[in-house]
Amino acid sequence: MSERRVADALDGAPLDAIKIVAAASMVCDHLNDMAFHHRYLALWYAGRLAFPLFCLVLALNLERGASATRYAAYLTPFAIVSQPIYKAAFHDGLDNVLITLLLAIFVAELMLRLPRWGQHVVFATGAAASFAAPWTAISTGLCFGVAGLLLPSALTLILQGRRDAAPWALLLYVGLNWFPRDELFDSLFAPLVVLIAAAAILALARRLAGRRRFLPRFALYAFYPLHLLALIGWRALA
């Protein structure tokens, strides 16, 4: 099946199913952090699915011709509202993930206008920065750093039939959670496990092909600040 047909097959109910899995994965990750203090490795692995699926949702919308400016205009209020809530929930020095996705929309818009060689230069530079200087995410406050900014662009190109973007997407995906203090095996094994799980989720989601959407349009982005508020309340009562 071509990349274009894959994108079409994931429209409608499959896209909503991906959003639900992304939301559930995010809850697992934040539960492990806020409620269990990173105690459960299984929840950590489950949480690694969230951001790549958020990026896929964004890429699918852009590939279908959504206006980047309009998409950003819809996302901006959710990002702004989420920021103080995120800061109350976490004290990691980072901004909330919706800000990364918001900036990634504009990055993707610019990347799609570059010549192919220019895209490769940007991807190579971003991937190198993700591995050589992973602390840039903390120093800039940008959640998932440069890799998080560029992954939606790579996924959008893949959905448009650009198979040469696949290696960059894979490198950026690994770079999302690259920590040089970890053992090399752990740094590579975690993305491999999550990549296999993501492939299985996409295969299952495609079984819903042809069915209409069942979620409100921006349910995933609205859920983000709401679930943080719920977890803050839980932590306060615990």
* pLDDT digits 0-9 by tens, 93-133: 889 999 999 999 999 999 999 999 999 999 999 999 888 87
Residue 183 has pLDDT above 60, yes or no: no
What is the distance between the alpha carbons of residues 87 and 69, in angstroms, rounded to a whole number?
27
- Cβ(117)–Cβ(166) under 8 Å? no
What is the distance between the alpha carbons of residues 111 and 105, in angstroms, rounded to a whole number?
10
* The three-state (H, E, C) secondary structure of 97-135, written as one string: HHHHHHHHHHHHHHHCCCCHHHHHHHHHHHHHHHHHCCC
Long-range Cβ pairs for the range 60-63 (8 Å, 24+): 60/7, 60/10, 60/11, 60/15, 60/159, 62/105, 62/108, 62/152, 62/156, 63/7, 63/156, 63/159, 63/160
pLDDT-based confidence at residue 209 (cuts at 50, 70, 90): confident
Residue 222 has pLDDT above 80, yes or no: yes
pLDDT-based confidence at residue 40 (cuts at 50, 70, 90): confident
Q: Which of 80, 107, 73 shows the shortest CA–CA distance to 96?
A: 80
Angle at 227 between CA 155 and CA 189, to 5 degrees: 45
- Side chain identity, residue 59: A
Tell me what pLDDT residue 118 has: 97
Q: 212-233 burial by CB neighbour count: b if 16+ within 10 A, else e?
A: eeeeeeeebbebbbebbeebbe
pLDDT-based confidence at residue 136 (cuts at 50, 70, 90): low
Average predicted confidence (pLDDT) for the chain:
87
- Cβ(107)–Cβ(122) under 8 Å? no
The torsion defined by the Cα of 100, 105, 108 and 113, in degrees rounded to 10, comes to -140
pLDDT-based confidence at residue 185 (cuts at 50, 70, 90): very low
